[in-house]
């Protein structure tokens, strides 16, 4: 299974490296969204829960773009058929896609989070960087797992681009809620507050539960 | 399998229990010292909320059964349960909103975690029918809908936990809306109302199952009579056996 996951992941990253389809669009989208928030809120610097909310809503919507595209090549270029013909565990496709989406999200955030700090954030992002990275990592895992699952459900429906956001947003509300609650004290104007550990624990539980659910039912999305 | 069997006594029992529940609500249960008459919406709001959640869970369990056995009847059961639960969830939101207006002065209260969680759950399950509708292949429609029902079933408790945690963070006060702290006569009324709504759910579920089965049998008979001349069934979100 490890070799299959490695091959699939390499394929996805190579395709992204050559086409440069998802990540640049997601990064550009997040920066545009920051600008939109600047004008929409009419604020030149944000802090606390408002900053956390703007950051997470932007990262969430940028994620939707990537999640929409995640299985497009599999459907349009026959990747599913090729995969189903190969004598490998079907879970390896789930693992590879989750890792690929995770890589995309991390790459986007490497651009979007500094851009957010540069454009909108009032307090210094350095005051609680390790804690912020921990929240980002846990939330990204959840985004990647649920995103992969929803993308796989929606990819073979007629209204794929519509089904992904309406399904994804309610499922991700707890993640955005927990991530924003955990991030808000880190971005406080008067020095970073302590990281609320209960929200990290909640994110970890959420990731774990949906990881298991995805593992249990992903095979049923591939039988055609 | 005949779902119509026993439907008549069940419907009679449901009508009886609901009548008894409303009689208890209006003539037996004492007026709430704090909120007065308005509090009586509690006997409708909370039971339909609980039954809606149980209906969603039942939809998830039927979906697991469907994926395990590949029997399309389980998919039909899951579909009907979720369908009725969505209607009850909408009712929960409406009654909750009315109650919020009457007791807190605002149609929507973000500080009430149960109501907010219910809205999120409702928004998620509202995607169930569009998802089914946008998949044409019957077998795949059933399979994907079951996957959705299981994911959503796992989501419900986690979502309630998250929203409750967030509100406890801002508002340590929790509203005692469950039966826990109720005096005896209110608790009795509440339990009868809960039983009535639960019976209503089962009756509606059986009725819908019986109706769907009759439709399928009729269609099969028509097809047998008309041969291949019959136009194919139009696209729909509902499962077909």
Residue of B nearest to A206 (CA): B158
Answer whether B214 touches A (CB < 8 Å): no
**B156 → chain A, closest CA residue:** A171
Q: Which residues pair with A121 in a beta bridge?
A: A46
Q: Which of B165, B36, B148 is nearest to A168 (CA)?
A: B148
In this prediction, what percent of chain A has a pLDDT beyond 90? 53
CA dihedral A98, B132, B64, B138 (to 10 degrees): -110
Give the integer Cα–Cα distance in Å for B131 and B126. 9
Cα angle, residue B166 at apex, residues B161 and B169 outer, rounded to 5° = 125
Distance separating alpha carbons of residues A142 and B151, to the nearest angstrom: 14
Show the beta-strand stretches assigned E in chain A: none
- Which of A199, A206, A223 comes nearest B158 by C-beta? A206
Q: How confident is the model at residue B179 (pLDDT cuts 50, 70, 90)?
A: very low
Domain ranges across chain B: 18-28+40-172+181-227
What confidence tens digit (pLDDT) does each residue in B6-52 have?
A: 888 899 999 999 999 888 888 887 777 777 777 888 888 989 999 99
**Cβ pair B123:A169 closer than 8 A:** yes
Q: pLDDT digits over A137-179, tens only?
A: 999 999 999 999 999 999 888 888 889 999 999 999 999 999 9
Note the pLDDT of residue B196. Answer: 94
pLDDT > 50? residue B171: no
Alpha carbon distance A148, A98 (integer Å) = 6
Nearest chain B residue to A218 by CA distance is B147
The closest CB to that of A163, out of B131, B147, B161, belongs to: B131
∠ at Cα B71 (B70, B74), nearest 5°? 115
Residues in B touching A216 (Cβ below 8 Å): 150
- Interface contact B165-A210, CB threshold 8 A: no
Q: How crowded is residue B107: how many other Cβ atoms within 10 Å of its Cβ? A: 10
- Residue B151 contacts A, CB cutoff 8 Å: yes
- Per-residue pLDDT at A65 exceeds 80: yes
More confident residue, B230 or B223: B223
Contact B130 A166 (CB under 8 A): yes
Global pTM reads 0.88
Structure tokens at B233: 């069934």
Angle between helices B42-69 and B184-226 (to 10 degrees): 40
Choice among A29-33, A188-192, B104-108 with the minimum mean pLDDT: A188-192
Q: What is the dihedral of CA A97, A98, A99, A103, to 10 degrees?
A: 100
Q: What length does chain B have?
A: 241
Backbone phi, psi, residue B32, to 5°: -70, 135
What residues in chain A have their Cβ under 8 A from chain B's Cβ atoms? Answer: 149, 153-154, 156-159, 162-163, 166-167, 169-171, 173-174, 177-178, 181, 196, 198-199, 202, 205-206, 209-210, 213, 216-217, 220-221, 223-224
What pLDDT shows up at residue B174?
42
Each residue's pLDDT tens digit, B89-99:
999 999 999 98
| Residue of B61, B145, B154, B163 to mutate, interface with A, max A Cβ within 10 Å | B154
Is pLDDT above 80 for B172? no
Is B113:B166 a contact under the CB 8 Å cutoff? Answer: yes
d(CA B130, CA B240): 16
Per the CB < 8 Å rule, is B131 touching A167?
Answer: yes
Confidence class of residue B173 from pLDDT cuts 50, 70 and 90?
very low
Alpha-carbon distances of A67 from A63, A87, A144, A177, rounded to whole Å: 6, 27, 8, 20
Q: In this prediction, does ipTM exceed 0.90?
A: no
């Amino acid at each position: 299974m490890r070799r299959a996951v490695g091959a699939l992941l390499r394929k996805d990253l190579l395709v992204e490296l050559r086409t440069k389809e998802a990540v640049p669009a997601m990064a550009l989208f997040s920066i545009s969204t920051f600008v939109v928030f600047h004008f929409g809120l009419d604020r030149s610097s944000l802090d606390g829960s408002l900053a956390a909310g703007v950051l997470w809503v932007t990262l969430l919507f940028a994620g939707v773009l990537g999640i929409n595209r995640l299985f497009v090549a599999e459907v349009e270029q026959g990747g599913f058929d090729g995969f189903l013909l190969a004598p490998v565990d079907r879970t390896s496709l789930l693992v590879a896609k989750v890792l690929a989406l995770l890589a995309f999200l991390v790459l986007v955030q490497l651009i979007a989070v500094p851009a957010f700090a540069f454009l909108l954030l009032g307090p210094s992002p350095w005051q609680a960087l390790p804690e912020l990275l921990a929240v980002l990592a846990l939330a990204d895992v959840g985004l990647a797992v649920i995103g992969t699952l929803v993308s796989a459900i929606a990819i073979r429906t007629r209204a794929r681009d519509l089904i992904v956001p309406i399904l994804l947003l309610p499922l991700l509300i707890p993640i955005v809620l927990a991530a924003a609650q955990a991030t808000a004290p880190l971005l406080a104007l008067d020095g970073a507050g302590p990281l609320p550990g209960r929200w990290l624990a909640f994110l970890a539980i959420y990731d774990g539960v949906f990881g298991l659910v995805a593992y249990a039912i992903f095979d049923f999305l591939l039988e055609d | 399998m005949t779902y119509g069997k026993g439907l008549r006594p069940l419907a009679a029992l449901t009508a009886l229990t609901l009548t008894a529940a409303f009689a208890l609500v209006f003539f037996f249960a004492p007026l709430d010292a704090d909120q007065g008459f308005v509090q009586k919406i509690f006997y409708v709001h909370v039971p339909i909320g609980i039954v809606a959640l149980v209906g969603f869970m039942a939809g998830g369990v039927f979906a697991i059964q469907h994926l395990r056995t590949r029997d399309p009847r389980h998919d039909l059961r899951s579909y009907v349960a979720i369908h009725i639960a969505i209607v009850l969830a909408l009712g929960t939101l409406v009654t909750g909103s009315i109650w919020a207006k009457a007791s807190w002065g605002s149609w929507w209260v973000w500080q009430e975690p149960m109501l907010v969680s219910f809205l999120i759950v409702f928004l998620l399950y509202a995607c169930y029918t569009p998802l089914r509708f946008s998949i044409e292949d019957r077998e795949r429609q059933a399979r994907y809908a079951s996957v959705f029902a299981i994911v959503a079933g796992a989501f419900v408790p986690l979502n309630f936990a998250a929203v409750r945690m967030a509100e406890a963070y801002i508002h340590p006060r929790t509203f005692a809306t469950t039966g826990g702290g109720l005096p005896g006569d209110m608790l009795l009324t509440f339990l009868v109302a809960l039983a009535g709504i639960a019976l209503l759910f089962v009756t509606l579920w059986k009725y819908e199952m019986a109706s769907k089965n009759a439709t399928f049998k009729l269609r099969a008979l028509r097809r047998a009579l008309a041969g291949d001349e019959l136009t194919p069934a139009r696209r729909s979100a509902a499962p077909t056996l």
